[in-house]
Structure 1
Amino acid sequence: MTAQLHYGTPAKIFHWLIVALLAVQYPIGWLMPDLHRGMTPGAAMTFHISIGMTILVLTALRLVWRLTHPVAPESSLPAWQRLSSEAVHWLLYVLVLTTTVSGWLFASFRGWSVSFFYLVPLPMLASDNEAAGRTIDGLHQAMEWALLVTIVIHVASALAHIFVYRDRVMQRMLPG
């Protein structure tokens, strides 16, 4: 399988859809009220879980696309930048997948009956378990912060390529 030099339209669509959904997901997660034992998740939690499931599916599809449609590393970059770029991208995949799955597990351990945008009930990954729910909630919150820090590093690197290095690296992922 020969690696392409630029990301194709499907890869760009997956990337920017996930970016947009994460930009919506973080504020919903931070602004919704704390949920305590025995509370029923409301609209904010339903939308948070539904958007998370959408992000999970899109990320899995993007990962499959990336594995089946590889893109060659930018040849103009120094070796350390190529390596760190590859590491950050794989870390983003791992963090997005584990963050979304840990959120789903949290809802499962809380014993909630949740649906995908009020349309389709979501299967639960585990049974009601308060202690496990607290542990997974802590893990989910830690993963959210780790993902956010990695996103900030990714965006800062992208901006450095645009404004500091002034190279064409970012053209590979920009629409058009």
Structure 2
Amino acid sequence: MTERGPSTPNGESAAHDPRTQSPGTGAGKRAAIWGAIVLGLGLLVLYGWAEQADPKEDAWRAVLRWVDSFVQSPGLGGLAAVVAASVALGQWRRQERAELKIRRDQQWWDVFKLIYPSSHIHSGPPTAEERQLVDTLADQADTEVQTAAAEALIGDLERRDRGAERGHRWKRREG
């Protein structure tokens, strides 16, 4: 049985493997980028308004006058509603991804529990269905525990396969 090191099946560093990253990492970066874009656009709009102001009037006074009128207009409420809806959408999507991961995890363990007893009960060579299911489990293992469990199943089926000349090559994660 091969040991799984800090690299992924295709030899990349585990730091670049999406399965090993925390769920909020990419979302936080995207939010910061969008925040910077919105802030930059807002500053450009304010600067443009200030440049078009009466030359006799101070540019900051023009900006403050515009901000004052904006705060008292329905536009601020609309902006707040858009921001609130964006936050709610982001939280909903995050919850959906978390629930999907839980369902995938549960499905993986359900298939594992289906295969595991048969790998110990039968003494003959593994069936094609067992081979396919174990290969699929090994491919879909998302955690170290699942990887170790899949490797243990492969080891059990390889022991059963010894002596039978089927030539099946098990998919192993090299690391």
TM-score range, shorter chain: under 0.3
Q: Which has the larger radius of gyration?
A: 2
What's the TM-score once normalised by structure 2's chain length? 0.27
Q: Which one has the bigger helix percentage?
A: 2
